[in-house]
Amino acid sequence: MQNFIKRLIESNKEFILKEVIEIKGLMHLLMKPQNTGQEWTKEEKIKIKSHLKNISKVVPAVVIFLIPGGSLFLPFLAEVLDRRKDRRT
pLDDT digits (tens, 9 = 90+) for 58-67: 998 899 888 8
Quickly state the pLDDT bin for 5 (edges 50, 70, 90). Answer: confident
Total domains in the chain come to: 1
Angstrom distance (rounded) from CA 17 to CA 83: 9
Residue 22, number of CB atoms within 10 A of its CB:
11
Rounded Cα–Cα distance for residues 75 and 71 (Å): 8
Distance CA 10, CA 6 (A): 6
Identity at 14, one-letter amino acid code: E
pLDDT at 79: 87
pLDDT band at 46; cut points 50, 70, 90: very high
Query: Model-level pTM greater than 0.85?
Result: no
pLDDT above 80 for 89: no
Residues 31/48, Cβ–Cβ less than 8 Å: no
Domain of 6, in residue numbers? 2-88
